[in-house]
Amino acid sequence: MELEKYSFGIGDRFGYQGKAQLEAVKKANSYGIEIIPVWNKSFREHSIIHTCPADTRKEADQAVKELNWSQPYYVDADHINLSNVDDFIENSDFFTLDVADYIDKTSEKQKTDAFLDRNRKYLGELLIPGIESPFRITLEELEKIARKFLFAIQEAKKIYDYISEKKGKENFIPEISIDEVDLPQTPVELFFILSAISMFGIPVQTIAPKFTGRFNKGVDYAGNIDQFAKEFEEDLLVIDFAIKEFGLPANLKLSVHSGSDKFSIYPVMGKLIRKYDKGIHIKTAGTTWLEELIGLALAGGEALAMVKLIYSKGFERFEELCAPYSAVIDIDRAKLPVSSEVNKWSSEKLADSIRHIPDHPEYNPHVRQLLHISYKIAAEFGNRYLNMLDKYSEIISEEVKENIYGRHIRRLFSGV
């Protein structure tokens, strides 16, 4: 299996918005932007919502059937490792091998020596075609990179081999993710990580590094955009060079995690992938469920009351809900209105507070983020919540489509 040039990670918490998301992708395709959908959901997400990988497969297959989608599509076992991959084998054909937990662990001396031998030729000045000034690589730095990443990549190979054995290596797309760590990887680190990936023989098709800046859940990118642009551009060139140097798959491309809502870097990434004629994979699934809340708010009556109830419970359980996301949210508690105030809001006011239109006067990123992590509460409502998704599916679908197509795809492929 070979992943196409442009792909979008879609999917949603409760598995109800597959069709609406595919419609957004279809709309892009009708304008000549060929995007391939990849339904992704992590083990973590399945555990909290109490869904299983078969549900994601069903959502994808059903949307594809209903919309007569004739191009490829995939189901991504997102952020998996050896301890939880089993559940995903049957229903996934895209595997994101998450090795962040294995960074900084010591690898065998023999492997380290092999890695150093392979890369000795890059010591001194390393010139990457397209990057103006050469990088200076010292033995000390190379050893440091080995200490940091080699064990993790070896672990990725173990997971890769395990999946290959079960599924056959032609039957899935491997991604390696190292994004859930504290520090971003530099382009030089990325280059040698790719060298290690090649050394262990993993035919990786997408790689998700941690980029500079903050990728908080549900809100825009926070960081230095010029610095991001420089790093992203260098990463593209590093990958290009690594494909040739290390014989990695020609379609290898960057995967951007927590890609939803990062509006200010979309035009930057779009411009750079077009400049170098490169592909990209962007995972946008996480916050799609907020469009359900917007749709429900707009529907009024019991649906509006449900959204207000989720907010008030989220407000009460603030600490508990924030804890697992502390590194990826930025909520100012002082900017959260109290529940009794939100309860007085109209449909429009609540929808406008949540909807991610950065310059809208009612938009409140704190309300949006709190509601985002309150998906656990919606899950606790079970059928009471899910039945509303059925009942108000039309108004919700419109929000989902506009979010993926209007706010995400159009920003990346400007001028569409």
Binding site for Zn ion (CB under 5 A): 179, 257
Q: Residue 92 CB, nearest distance to Zn ion (Å)?
A: 16
What six digits make up the tokens of 111? Answer: 């492997």
Residue 214 · residue 222 · CB < 8 Å: yes
27 vs 257, which CB is nearer to Zn ion? 257
Mention every residue, 6+ apart, whose C-beta is less than 8 A from residue 118. Answer: 195, 199
DSSP structural state of residue 100: G
- Check: CB of residue 314 under 8 Å from CB of residue 370: yes
Contact status, residue 77 vs residue 53, Cβ threshold 8 Å: yes
* CA separation for the pair 107, 48 (Å, rounded): 34
What is the dihedral angle through the alpha carbons of 69, 71, 75, 81, rounded to the nearest 10 degrees?
-170
Query: With contact defined as beta carbons under 8 Å apart, do 74 and 25 qualify?
Result: no
- Please identify, using beta-carbon distances, which residue of 142 and 197 lies nearer to Zn ion: 197
DSSP readout, 152-203? HHHHHHHHHHHHHHHH-GGG-EEEEE--SSSSPPPHHHHHHHHHHHHHTT--
CB of 364 to Zn ion, least distance (A): 26
Q: Which residue is nearest to Zn ion (CB)?
A: 257
Residue with smaller CB distance to Zn ion, 44 or 360 = 44
Q: What three-state secondary structure class fits 321?
A: helix
Report the residue number, 285 or 331, with the smaller CB distance to Zn ion. Answer: 285
Q: Which of 386, 392, 385 is nearest to 298 (CA)?
A: 392
Least distance from Zn ion to the Cβ atom of residue 42, Å: 8
